[in-house]
Amino acid sequence: MSDETQVQQDAADQEHRSEEMHPIDVQLPADAPDAASEAAEEKAEEVSDPRTHRFECRSCGYVYDPEEGVKKQAIPIGTAFQDIDTITFRCPVCRSKVGAFRDIGPRSKASGFEENLNFGLGVNRLTPGQKNVLIFGGLALAFAFFLSLYSLR
């Protein structure tokens, strides 16, 4: 055997061994989310501007939202929680200090623990506003069906 054919055969053997060592790629259905897109989506959520995050009072559950402000204390709309005076600000409901508030993320973030968001037929990924529409819309529909029973004779 010549040196060139030996080198070519060694390269082919090396390539064949490397193919055996790597698992075969599995084709996912087009509608299945891939890990790369989920990781990019989670990274985008982590990068969200902390100045738009909402803060919840741990004492009473009051939620400070920068998009709403606090009229009672003359805090204008768009004021971030970090810009509020920590000495004079108190919770409008229970009068707790700023230290009693915790960051609950942006308005568009789904509520609940991160590890539980993949359970519950997709309902756990809904925002609180979407959950309200689902719950109260279902109740209104059930009430309408109940009232429609009176039209039967």
- 11-30 pLDDT, tens digit per residue, is 666 555 544 444 444 444 44
- Specify the pLDDT at position 125: 75
Higher local confidence (pLDDT), 46 or 116: 116
| Distance from C-alpha of 144 to C-alpha of 139, rounded to nearest angstrom | 9
Q: What is the 3-state secondary structure (H, E, C) of the chain?
A: CCHHHHHHHHHHHHHHHHHHHCCCCCCCCCCCCCHHHHHHHHHHHHCCCHHHCEEEECCCCCEECCCCCEHHHCECCCCCHHHCCCCCCCCCCCCCCHHHEEEEECCCCCCCCHHHCCCCCCHHHCCHHHHHHHHHHHHHHHHHHHHHHHHCC
Confidence of residue 36 (pLDDT cuts 50, 70, 90): very low
pTM of this prediction? 0.47
**pLDDT tens digits for 51-107?**
888 899 998 889 998 888 888 888 888 888 888 888 888 998 999 998 899 888 887
- Residue 144 half-sphere exposure, CB side, CA atoms within 13 Å? 6
Position with higher pLDDT, 107 vs 2? 107
CA-CA distance, 50 to 82, in Å (whole number)? 9
Q: What is the pLDDT of residue 112?
A: 59
- So what's the pLDDT on residue 140? 96
